[in-house]
Amino acid sequence: MRILVTGHRGYIGTVAVPLFQSHGHQVTGLDSGLYERCTFGPMLGEEPPALCKDIRDVTLDDLAGFEAVVHLAGLSNDPLGDLNPALTDEINHRATVRLAKLAKESGVERFVFSSSCSNYGASGDNWLDETASFNPVTPYGQSKVAAEFGILPLADDNFCVTCLRSATAYGVSPRIRFDLVLNNLVAWASTSGLVYLKSDGTPWRPIVHIEDISRAFLCVLEAPTDLVNGEAYNVGITSENYQMRDLANVVVEVVPGSRVEYAPDAGPDKRCYRVDCSKIRDTFPDFQPQWNLRKGAVEIYDAICQLGLQENEFENERFSRIQHLKFLIGNGILGEDLRYREFEGVS
């Protein structure tokens, strides 16, 4: 299958693309290069041909000849969404819907959208399947909900649309992020000896490894269209829902000499949701997630030790997406609209 992967140089894309390639798919990437400075380790697999382009600027010609689009690109978490809510909507919602419409017009047969369990937002202790009401509490979550509402009605017999609502991602990647909860907790523990909680530890959060997210995308790409067209799936494992304090306790067990500490202003977090992932398991018997909390924490800890990561590094502009964009804007590399400025021969 000829697949265009947007955001192929990002946290998930650098893991998903080699998986797609290993299954015989012809992958082309599309990425604006925002995170080229955020390299954690060598790239995996063969670098695909790619377009260096902002998703807001994609044209019909860019999409010609592809059978599928896997849309990963966007502003990827709550802090980024809060930086400029209007821009978050422009990129995550409006550019996504525009991309899907162009893909349909160009004859692309499948459009697989990377949505989020953040759609459920403030939902308390109840179990949530794909029929649950949305209650997003951040611009990021709101943008993902709006994008789903915009692209799912485009589905028809010739254009298969599927939304994958991933749980909170974790795991090692060439473009690792330490602004994700498990990655962040292990980084704190490994570099400072503290498992540092910024909430009171009670909120529920589902987690899933980026390799298992990638396997979910592959299952949807290879499934018969009548099975997945117009569908949404929670991506994760039902048993991998944890309260934040439970995540912290496992990290303490994995990282020698560490202990839990709560931020001075730690309190409840409105983002609280538990997701039921039975639908993806029942639909795709071959979808067999390989990771769990403890195994993932060990992987992250080992990678941090191997790199020699220091306490002052993991929340700076190299590994925190919000700090990285602020760095690029502050140094005149990006404009406030997150487009590259031309200066000194660099664009």
Domain boundaries, the chain: 2-330
Quick one: how far is CA 125 from the chain centroid?
Answer: 23
pLDDT of residue 78: 66
Instruction: Specify the range with the lowest mean pLDDT, choosing from 21-25, 46-50, 141-145, 219-223.
Output: 46-50
Nearest CA to 247 out of 186, 304, 198, 173 is that of 186
Cα separation, 219 vs 176, whole angstroms: 24
The tens digit of pLDDT for each residue in 200-225 reads 899 999 999 999 999 999 999 999 99
* Number of helices and strands in the chain (H, E): 13, 14
Instruction: Specify the range with the lowest mean pLDDT, choosing from 117-126, 163-172, 337-346.
Output: 337-346
Burial of 323 (0-12, 13-18, 19+ CB in 10 A): middle
Q: Transcribe 31-55 into DSSP letters.
A: E--TTTT---SPPPSPPPPEEE--G
Going by DSSP bridges, is the β-strand pair 241-243/204-209 parallel, antiparallel, or unpaired?
antiparallel
Is the CB of residue 89 less than 8 Å from the CB of residue 142?
yes
Region 144-151 average pLDDT: 98
pLDDT of residue 342: 62
| Fold of the domain built from segment(s) 2-330 | Rossmann fold (3.40.50)
Percent of the chain's residues with pLDDT above 90: 77
CB-based contacts of 86, cutoff 8 Å, min separation 6: none
The tens digit of pLDDT for each residue in 56-103 reads 999 999 999 999 999 999 998 666 667 789 999 999 999 999 999 999
Does the predicted TM-score (pTM) go above 0.85?
Answer: yes
145 pLDDT tier (thresholds 50, 70, 90): very high
Is the CB of residue 113 less than 8 Å from the CB of residue 92?
no
Is the CB of residue 264 less than 8 Å from the CB of residue 116?
no
Is the CB of residue 122 less than 8 Å from the CB of residue 150?
no
Averaged confidence pLDDT in the chain = 92
Q: Give the number of residues written for the chain.
A: 347
Tokens of 87: 């821009």
pLDDT of residue 154: 98
pLDDT higher than 80, residue 338: yes
